[in-house]
Amino acid sequence: MQLDQIDRLISDRGYRFSFPEEIETAYHAYRLHFRKRLNQALLIPTLVCYNVFLVVDYLLLPQTFWLSAALHLLFVSPIIVMSSMGLREGWNERKRDYCVALGPLAMIVQIMAIYTLNASEAAQHYQYLAIFVLIYMNLLFRLEYEQAVAASAFAATLYVGTLFVCHAPLPVLVIGTMASGAACYLSLSGNRQMQRDSRHGYLRRMQDRLRIEAAQTAAERDVLTGLYNRRRLARAFDQLLRGSTSRSVALLMIDVDQFKRFNDENGHLAGDVCLKRIAEVLTQIFEGSDDLVVRFGGEEFLVLLTGIEQPHAVRLAERIRTEIEALGIVHADGATHVTVSIGVTAGAICQGVQNALISGADAALYAAKQAGRNRVWPPAAPLASAASAALPLAV
C-alpha cells in the first residue's frame, strides 16, 4: 500500500463498499482476524442468551418444552459453536459469512418449528422471538452487506411463510410481516453503516501506520545521498544483538581522499555531486542484500556486513575502491581522480560490538591513509587490539 493511495481513497470517499484489489485483499485478511476474535467473544453470550429463553418456552408453550429444550441443546447450540469456530483461512468472504449466519438462522428455524406445533394463542406471541434473532444477526455478527441481505431474505421468507402456512390470524400475519420487514430494513441499514465505518477505520489505521513508517524512514535517511544514517546503524546493531549471536559481522569504513581540497577547488555543489555518485556506487554493489550502507558523516561512509569473515570483507572493499576510482571524478588540476581509502574490521556479534567495530575500522582507515591513500587496509591484529596495532604499521 502507498500512503498517497490511502489518502486519495479517504478524501474521495472511495472506501464505501470496495477497495482496489491489493487493499481489498489486505482488508479481508485483517477482517478475518477481527471476525475470529468477535465470534469467539460472542459465542458464550449467544449460547447463554439463547438457552435462557427456554424460560419463555416453559411459560408460553409448556406442552412442547422438552422438545424445544432438545432442539436448543442438541441441534442449535452445536451449530452455533461450529459456525463461530469454523472460519477457515482459505475461504472467501461469502463462505465465511454464510458459515457465521448458520447459528442465528438455526435459531429462527427452531423458533418457527416449535411455533408450527402449537395452535394456542400464546404461540402467536412466541413467534415474535424470530424477529429479535434477525436483528441480532445483522447488527452483531458483522456480515458483509450482500450476505446480510441474503440471510435476512431467507429468514424473513421463512418467518412470513411459516405464519402463512400455519394460518396465523390476520392481525398476527399483518403485524408479523410489517415487523419483520421493518426489522430487516433497520438492521440492514445499521449493518451497511457499520461496514462503511469499518472500511473507513481500516484506512485510517493504515494511514497512521504508513505515516509513522514514512516518518521513521525519513528520520533514518541522509538527505543528500539517500543512504541510511547513524540512527539506522544503531538500530541495526540492536536488532543483531536481539537475534543470533553466532553470526559474524564486518565493518567497512570508507573515506573520500582529499575531499576538503576537492570541495575548496571545485565548490560545495560539486562536492555534493561527488558524494551522491559514490553513494550510487555503494547502493548498486549492495542492492538486494541485507547489508547496510550508511553515510557516517561528512565524506565518510560505512558498510555493515553480516554473516561474513574479514577476508571476504576485504575483497568487497577492494571492489568498492576500484569502482569508485573508475568513476573518473577529477580534481581541479585535471590530473588526479577522486579515490577512497577503506578500513576493514570484523568480529562476532556481542554486547559492545558496535563501538569495537567502529574503533577497529577507524584505526584501519587511518592506517590506509598513512600508507598513501587509495587503498584497503585490513587490521593486522585481533579486533580488541586493532586500534593500537594499526598505528605502528602505518608509520
Residue 218 lies in a domain: no
Residue 222 lies in a domain: no
pLDDT value, residue 387: 40
**Same-domain status, 103 and 171:** yes
Give the integer Cα–Cα distance in Å for 102 and 79. 7
**Same-domain status, 177 and 304:** no
Residue 248 lies in a domain: yes
pLDDT value, residue 86: 65
Number of domains in the chain: 2
pLDDT value, residue 386: 40
**DSSP label at 205?**
H
Q: Cβ distance 293 to 229 under 8 Å?
A: no
**Same-domain status, 177 and 237:** no
pLDDT value, residue 380: 36
Range of the domain at 101: 3-212
Nearest of 287, 301, 291 to residue 222 by alpha carbon: 301
Give the integer Cα–Cα distance in Å for 243 and 288. 21
**Same-domain status, 162 and 259:** no
The predicted-structure confidence for 331-377, as pLDDT tens digits, reads as follows 888 778 999 999 999 988 887 778 889 999 999 999 999 999 999 99
**Same-domain status, 202 and 253:** no
Beta strands 376-377 and 248-256 are unpaired
pLDDT value, residue 351: 76
| CATH number for 302 | 3.30.70.270
Residue 195 lies in a domain: yes
pLDDT value, residue 217: 82
- The SS3 assignment for 255 reads strand
pLDDT value, residue 90: 65
Residue 220 lies in a domain: no
299 is catalytic: yes
**Same-domain status, 259 and 189:** no
**Same-domain status, 208 and 236:** no
Residue 265 lies in a domain: yes
| pTM to 2 decimal places | 0.64
Give the integer Cα–Cα distance in Å for 106 and 158. 11
pLDDT value, residue 383: 38
Give the integer Cα–Cα distance in Å for 212 and 215. 5
Which triple of cell numbers denotes residue 347?
Answer: 568480529
**Same-domain status, 260 and 202:** no
Candidates 93, 146, 220, 299; catalytic one: 299
Give the integer Cα–Cα distance in Å for 221 and 152. 54
Beta strands 292-297 and 300-306 are antiparallel
Q: Which residues of the chain have pLDDT under 50?
A: 379-395
**Same-domain status, 309 and 378:** yes
**Same-domain status, 119 and 67:** yes
Residue 323 lies in a domain: yes
pLDDT value, residue 336: 84
